[in-house]
């Protein structure tokens, strides 16, 4: 059985054992129950400000805004934009027709299959962004950050673990990584800067630039120009169609 909820009072009156669909169409302040036998749908531009326990929200016909979740959050099948903020567990956002934005996650954050832009900010665990048809931005990650299959530009900033960016049809930029940084398969330009570990860049159709690396730097297969500068260990540059410039390397420098 499907029931429509427009107010907080209407939601509070729903039996916790309700079997069927709960269709939220208005602004709800708090969902403080876990409806194990029900599917919670947010239709139109409904807003949920707080959720107690774990939250699973799907089949959203408009925009989805979910804030302040005490457990974990799963948001699926959003036909507009999806915004998820302040999650005390992990956050998973999947299949968004518009833009997806995830902020302030105390666990891991995963964002998949976004037709617009995707942005993830301030994650205490790992962050994964996959299959984005617009731009992808990941900022301030305490664990590892992984970005795969971006149809425009990909930007990753301030990662305490490792940062990996793969298959970007636009530009790829990675800045301020405490671990290792790896960038593969970029259709325009690739830029990696300020890496405490090793930095590796492979297969760039435009220009590649790697600067300020505490470990080793390796750049392979660049159709444009390659610039490598300020490397505290060794630097290796292979197969550059344009010009290759390697400067200020403390260890060995190899260009082939």
Q: Let me know the angle formed at the C-alpha of 33 by 31 and 38, rounded to the nearest 5 degrees.
A: 95
> In this structure, what token pair is assigned to residue 252?
């060995």
pLDDT reported for residue 42: 66
- pLDDT at residue 13, as a whole number: 87
In a domain, 21, yes or no: no
CA–CA separation, 51 and 199 (whole Å): 41
Residue 159 lies in a domain: yes
Low-confidence residues of the chain, pLDDT below 70? 29-30, 32-34, 36, 41-49, 51-55
Residue 25: inside a domain: no
Residue 162 covered by a domain: yes
Q: What local confidence, expressed as pLDDT, does residue 170 receive?
A: 98
**Distance between CA atoms of 192 and 16, rounded to whole angstroms?**
51
pLDDT score of 19: 86
Backbone angles phi, psi at 57, to 5 degrees: -125, 130
32 in a domain, yes or no?
A: no
Q: Is residue 54 part of a domain?
A: yes
What pLDDT is recorded for position 148?
98
pTM here is 0.87
Token digits for 122? Answer: 């301030």
The beta strand positions in 115-153, using DSSP E, are: 118-123, 127-132, 136-141, 145-150
Domain containing 231 equals 45-255
Q: What domain count does the chain have?
A: 1
Half-sphere exposure of 132 (CA within 13 A, CB side): 33
Three-state DSSP state, 133: coil
- The answer to whether residue 241 sits within a structural domain is yes
- For 99, counting Cβ atoms within 10 Å of its Cβ (0-12 exposed, 13-18 middle, 19+ buried), the class is buried
pLDDT at 55: 67
pLDDT, residue 90, reads: 93
């Amino acid at each position: 059985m499907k029931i429509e909820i427009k107010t907080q009072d209407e939601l509070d009156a729903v039996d916790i054992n309700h079997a069927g669909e709960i269709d939220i169409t208005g602004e709800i302040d708090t969902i403080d129950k876990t409806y194990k036998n029900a599917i919670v749908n947010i239709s139109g531009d409904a807003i949920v400000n707080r959720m107690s326990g774990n939250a699973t929200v799907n089949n959203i016909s408009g925009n989805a805004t979910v804030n302040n979740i005490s457990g974990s959050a799963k948001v699926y099948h959003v036909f507009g934009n999806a915004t998820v903020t302040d999650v005390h567990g992990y956050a998973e956002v999947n299949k968004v027709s518009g833009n997806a934005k995830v902020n302030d996650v105390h666990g891991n954050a995963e964002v998949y299959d976004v037709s617009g832009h995707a942005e993830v900010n301030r994650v205490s665990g790992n962050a994964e962004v996959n299959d984005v048809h617009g731009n992808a931005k990941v900022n301030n990650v305490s664990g590892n950050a992984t970005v795969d299959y971006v149809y425009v530009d990909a930007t990753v900033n301030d990662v305490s673990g490792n940062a990996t960016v793969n298959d970007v049809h636009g530009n790829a930029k990675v800045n301020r990584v405490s671990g290792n940084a790896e960038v593969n398969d970029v259709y325009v330009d690739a830029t990696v800067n300020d890496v405490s570990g090793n930095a590796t860049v492979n297969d760039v159709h435009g220009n590649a630039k790697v600067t300020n690396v505490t470990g080793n730097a390796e750049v392979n297969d660049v159709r444009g120009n390659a610039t490598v500068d300020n490397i505290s260990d060794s630097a290796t540059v292979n197969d550059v169609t344009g010009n290759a410039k390697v400067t200020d390397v403390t260890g060995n420098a190899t260009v082939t």
